[in-house]
Amino acid sequence: MLLLERRPVDSSLMRWASPVLALVLTVMTGFVLFLAMGKDPVEGLTFFFITPISDLIGLAELGLKMAPLLLCAAGLTVCYRAKVWNIGAEGHFLMGALGASAVAVQLMDMSGFWVLPVVLVAGILAGMLWAAIAAGLKTHLHCNEILTTIMLNYIALNLLLYAVHGPLKDPYGFGFPQSVMFAESALLPDLIPGTRLHLGLAFGLLAAVSVWVLFARSFIGFQLNVVGQDQRAAAFAGFGARRLTWFAFLVGGATAGLAGASEVTGPIGQLVPQVSPGYGYTAIIVVFLGRMHALGIIAASALLALTFIGGEMLQIAMNMPKAVTGLFQGLLLFYLLTCDAFIHYRVRLRAPVRKPTRVAAPAATQEA
């Protein structure tokens, strides 16, 4: 009989092997899926994983999708390390896009180097404001942050829809629900000329490095870690859980807000209803896959960015539904969590007859 047994010490090998294992399992599942749909699996997987990044344009597109994922994931890493279950990156992102757009539309006739920073800061502040609502609800009114952030995501989406149908709608836009195209002075500069890759990726990488510095070199990072691992210990040490919760939320809101602002001032250049294909939700997968570590989330955001463009590629090349992206992401997260169980547990073979009689109660209490 197979038995799950707690390891005396968590396996650090498994901690880093688990994401790789999850990826392998996902690819294998994809292989079977392609077969089941009567498509050539090798061709399909090539189109999904390799074709999109086989030239400079493709790599630039990868960076383009990485930027928002990495920014959102950096903020969420700070939250999840402190066990603040902020699912609201999508809402922060949308509010960031909305806030930046509102300002950019106001500054249409302005030129000057200061316009872009003002627009970006507006996005950051809007994201932080949205995060602050959830933070306040948690620290002062004890509301579960998972539920409030999810609800705030839906509210943010409706606010954005309201804006593009109402106050921010382009009066000469032939009735399409979208804002005017922003002025040149409000647009992010390109990183590589001739591609769509813009400064947003640099923001993302900077955010990841900041996360590393925060947790490796700063006292507040240490406090966040302690609060996340043992709230009682943190309380004894006098670390203010409330203050840390606010910090985590505000960082999460700021980075995701910047991501939203970078998206409207970068590749899109205006506010549209479909500004996010779910970056804020995918960023959650990035954080788990990246082991809440700066280098990890950089690698994971590249992989998940690939799932977005790979899905589009499959749609064009093999007439597959674009939803394959979401399926792939879901499978990846599912396998990851399953593999993660083996960080704490190992499988033992044991004959059922040898099972000792249970004198269980005290032992079980210790276990819990």
Partner 1 sequence: MELLTNILAAMVVAGTPLLLVALGELICERSGVLNLGQEGMMLMGAVAGFVVALTTGSLAVAVFASVFAGIGMALLFALMAVTLAANQYAAGLALTIFGTGLSAFVGAGFVGESIDGFERVAIPLLSDIPVIGRVLFHQDLLVYFSLVVFAGIWLFLHHSRGGLLLRAVGEDPDAANANGLKVLVVRYLAVAFGGGMAGLAGAYLSLAYTPMWTENMTAGRGWIALALVVFATWRPERVLIGAWLFGAASILHLVLQGLGWRASTELLAMLPYVVTILMLVLLSWNPARTRLNTPLSLGQPYRPGR
Give how many residues touch partner 1 by CB under 8 A.
57
Residue 21 and residue 32: Cα distance in Å, rounded? 17
Q: Does 31 bind partner 1 (CB under 8 A)?
A: no
Of 262-291, which residues contact partner 1 (CB under 8 A)?
Answer: 281, 284-285, 288
CB closer to partner 1 out of 167 and 243: 167
Contact range with partner 1 by CB under 8 A, out of 8-16, 136-144, 184-192, 292-300: 136-144
Q: How far is the CB of 208 from partner 1 (least distance, A)?
A: 21
CB closer to partner 1 out of 12 and 366: 366
Contact range with partner 1 by CB under 8 A, out of 48-56, 107-115, 292-300, 358-366: 358-366
In order of 24, 202, 289, 290, 296, the CA distances from 17 in angstroms are: 11, 28, 11, 11, 12
Q: Does 333 bind partner 1 (CB under 8 A)?
A: yes
Contacting residue, 152, 211, 234, 292, with partner 1 by CB under 8 A: 152
Q: Does 101 bind partner 1 (CB under 8 A)?
A: no
Q: How far is the CB of 220 from partner 1 (least distance, A)?
A: 24
Of 157-186, which residues contact partner 1 (CB under 8 A)?
Answer: 158-159, 161-162, 165-166
Q: Does 321 bind partner 1 (CB under 8 A)?
A: yes
Contact criterion met (CB below 8 Å) for 227 and 243: no
Which residues neighbour 15 within 8 Å (Cβ) at sequence distance 6 or greater?
291, 343
Residue 219 and residue 203: Cα distance in Å, rounded? 23
Residue 38 and residue 36: Cα distance in Å, rounded? 5
Q: How far is the CB of 28 from partner 1 (least distance, A)?
A: 16
Q: Does 7 bind partner 1 (CB under 8 A)?
A: no
Contacting residue, 4, 213, 233, 295, with partner 1 by CB under 8 A: 4
CB closer to partner 1 out of 97 and 285: 285
For residue 214 the two structure tokens come to 């925060």
Which amino acid does the sequence have at 170? D
Of 48-77, which residues contact partner 1 (CB under 8 A)?
Answer: none
Q: Does 322 bind partner 1 (CB under 8 A)?
A: yes
Q: Does 148 bind partner 1 (CB under 8 A)?
A: yes
Q: Does 25 bind partner 1 (CB under 8 A)?
A: no
Q: How far is the CB of 13 from partner 1 (least distance, A)?
A: 18
CB closer to partner 1 out of 205 and 283: 283
Residue 353 and residue 51: Cα distance in Å, rounded? 54
Q: Does 341 bind partner 1 (CB under 8 A)?
A: yes
CB closer to partner 1 out of 59 and 155: 155
User: Which of 207, 210, 75, 74 lies closest to 131, judged by CA?
Assistant: 75
Which amino acid does the sequence have at 111? S
Q: Does 85 bind partner 1 (CB under 8 A)?
A: yes
CB closer to partner 1 out of 107 and 152: 152
Which spans of this chain sit near partner 1 (rule: CB under 8 A)?
Answer: 4, 6, 85, 87, 137, 141-144, 146-148, 150-152, 154-155, 158-159, 161-162, 165-166, 281, 284-285, 288, 321-331, 333-334, 336-338, 340-341, 344-345, 356, 358, 360-361, 363-368
